Amino acid sequence: MHSDAPRKSKSLIAKAAELATAVPQVVLQRMTRMALAGPVASPADQREFHRMVSEKGAAFNESWRAIATEAARAHWVLTASFVNALWAPKFQGEGSPAAMIEQLHHAAVSVVNEGVSPVHQRAVKNAKRLAREQR
Identify the DSSP state of 3: T
pTM for the whole thing?
A: 0.75
Other C-beta atoms lying within 10 Å of the C-beta of residue 131: 13
Lowest mean pLDDT among 5-9, 11-15, 58-62, 88-92: 88-92
Q: What is the pLDDT of residue 4?
A: 64
Asked if pLDDT for residue 125 goes beyond 90, the answer is yes
Domain map (residue ranges) of the chain: 5-10+46-134
CB 122 within 8 A of CB 20: no
Q: What is the pLDDT of residue 1?
A: 45
CA distance 129 to 19: 15
C-alpha torsion 124→125→131→133, nearest 10: -170
pLDDT, tens only, 39-74: 899 999 999 999 999 999 999 999 999 999 999 999
Residues across the chain: 135
Q: What is the pLDDT of residue 99?
A: 79
Identify the DSSP state of 51: H
The residue type at 37: A
Q: What is the pLDDT of residue 83?
A: 82
Q: What is the pLDDT of residue 42?
A: 92
Q: Which residue has the higher pLDDT, 62 or 82?
A: 62
From residue 41, how far is each of 28, 49, 63, 78, 127 by CA, in Å? 17, 9, 31, 53, 21
Strand extents, DSSP E, 5-128: none
CA distance 132 to 116: 24
